[in-house]
Amino acid sequence: MSLATMASILGAEIVYAKQMLNDYIPIGINEQEDLKSLGKDPALKVLNDRPWNVETPIHLLDDKVTPAEKMFVRNNGQLPKRPDPGSWKLTIQGESVKSEKSYSLSELKSKFKQFTFQVTLECGGNGRGEFYPPTEGNQWGQGAVSCANWTGVRLKDVLQDVGIKADAVYIGYYGTDEHLSGDPKKESISRGVPIAKAMEEETLLAFQMNGKDIPLANGYPLRLVVGGYPASVSGKWLKTIAVRNKVHDGAKMETPSYQVPIEPMEPGEAIKAENMQIITSMPIRSIITYPKSGATFALSAALKIRGHAWAGEQEVSKVAYSIDFGSTWTSATLEKPVNRFAWQHFEAQIKFPKKGYYEVWAMATDDQGKSQPMVVPGWNPKGYLNNACHRIAVKVT
């Protein structure tokens, strides 16, 4: 868009327009257009457009399998230009490989057996916006989550083909997203997982999402997909995997990024790095995706609700709902996951006793008996893992 059109939309002259750098193109004007050019539904909520951080409103997560245009975006650096898949190479290196090896995309596809899994990917900071005192970063509501069909090859098969040494303890990824400062020596993000997690059956080097190319903002042409952990370990625009003989030390592996206190702490307290630990499994959570919060309906009608529940590395064994602020709970019908790490669907029919304002709360419980808290759980410096039960408001008339 030219400055002149922009000025006419704003209905005001842009002062010093000549000196206006790219960075200064007022945000908000282009937002919806930009979302479309990212391949995203313009109804998604832009928390930040540089870097892209885009949340899905909960009612738009109603699909059983999240479509590309409704998948949230959490970028840490600059969005890479669309690369040429023909010349893309993945390199496996590091202290604990027998020898470095590279694969083209077509080699990965032809050499190894392909698998498709439905995997829930959730940002570690999902729910951050509710912590008090406020914590740093994008103030996510509860929509930084998705569950799509990911197709690729097992990381395990590729690592076995490369040959890894007995001293391997961790893998770390590197992508092509440049640091926001433009400094080529800086990494945006380079995280990883323990070797046992990397070798799990469902851990993929994925080149397709829902049977199509992965959207650019979500990692095209290749990304790691690791279920149950914060989505930040599922590295996007994947170029390199380092097999490490120690815990990976890339960007955002350091305290306090993606770390939580070992012992529960007082909100707002200071904490030493040695008292923090890296997040492993995500906590249990559920969302009510239908109806959208704010529904008004007649007392005579029964309300159908539905949604999804997931529990990091565990399975959800029960979802219950309450319409009286947690005094009483009723079980919803719950489906089994289609595979490990896929979210599970629940539904229920609710009859309300009298007219008035209600909140419908959902609470999931996992196979180890752990449930979601009704209030915001333990405070931590970066505001991770808020899995407080989801609430929608309804009015019976």
Partner 1 sequence: MKEQDLKKMLRFIFILGSLAMLLVISMIVGTMLIQQHPEWLHALKENHSSKNNISNQQENEPNEEVEWTPEALEAVGLVEGEGLQLVLTHCTNCHSAKLITQNRFTKEGWIQVIRWMQATQGLWELGDAEAEIVTYLSKHFAPEARGRRIPLEVEWYDL
Q: Which residues bind ligand HEC (CB under 6 A)?
A: 51, 76, 136-137, 180-181
Contact 123, 140 (CB under 8 A): yes
Binding partner 1 (rule: CB under 8 A), the pick from 95, 167, 201, 254 is: 254
Contact between 134 and partner 1 by CB under 8 A: the answer reads: yes
- The smaller minimum CB distance to partner 1, of residues 13 and 211, is found at 13
Binding partner 1 (rule: CB under 8 A), the pick from 46, 224, 243, 362 is: 46
Shortest Å distance, C-beta 356 to partner 1: 13
The one of partner 1, ligand HEC, none whose footprint includes residue 16, by CB under 5 to 8 A per kind, is partner 1
Shortest Å distance, C-beta 51 to ligand HEC: 5
- The smaller minimum CB distance to partner 1, of residues 154 and 382, is found at 382
Binding partner 1 (rule: CB under 8 A), the pick from 35, 38, 47, 231 is: 47
Contact between 351 and partner 1 by CB under 8 A: the answer reads: no
Going by C-alpha positions, the residue among 288, 283, 349, 359 that lies closest to residue 323 is 359
Contact 395, 347 (CB under 8 A): no
Angular region, 223: left φ>0, alpha ψ -120 to 50, beta rest: beta
- The smaller minimum CB distance to partner 1, of residues 35 and 199, is found at 35
- The smaller minimum CB distance to partner 1, of residues 48 and 91, is found at 48
The one of partner 1, ligand HEC, none whose footprint includes residue 14, by CB under 5 to 8 A per kind, is partner 1
The one of ligand HEC, partner 1, none whose footprint includes residue 231, by CB under 5 to 8 A per kind, is none
Binding partner 1 (rule: CB under 8 A), the pick from 32, 41, 57, 78 is: 78
Burial of 48 (0-12, 13-18, 19+ CB in 10 A): middle
Shortest Å distance, C-beta 297 to partner 1: 4
Going by C-alpha positions, the residue among 61, 77, 46, 135 that lies closest to residue 384 is 135
Binding partner 1 (rule: CB under 8 A), the pick from 66, 96, 120, 139 is: 139
Structure tokens of 159? 């690592």
Contact between 98 and partner 1 by CB under 8 A: the answer reads: no
Please report, as ranges, the residues that interact with partner 1 according to CB under 8 A: 10-16, 18-24, 26-29, 46-51, 53, 78-79, 81, 130, 132-134, 136-139, 179-183, 186, 251, 254, 291-297, 301, 303, 359, 374-376, 388, 391-393, 395
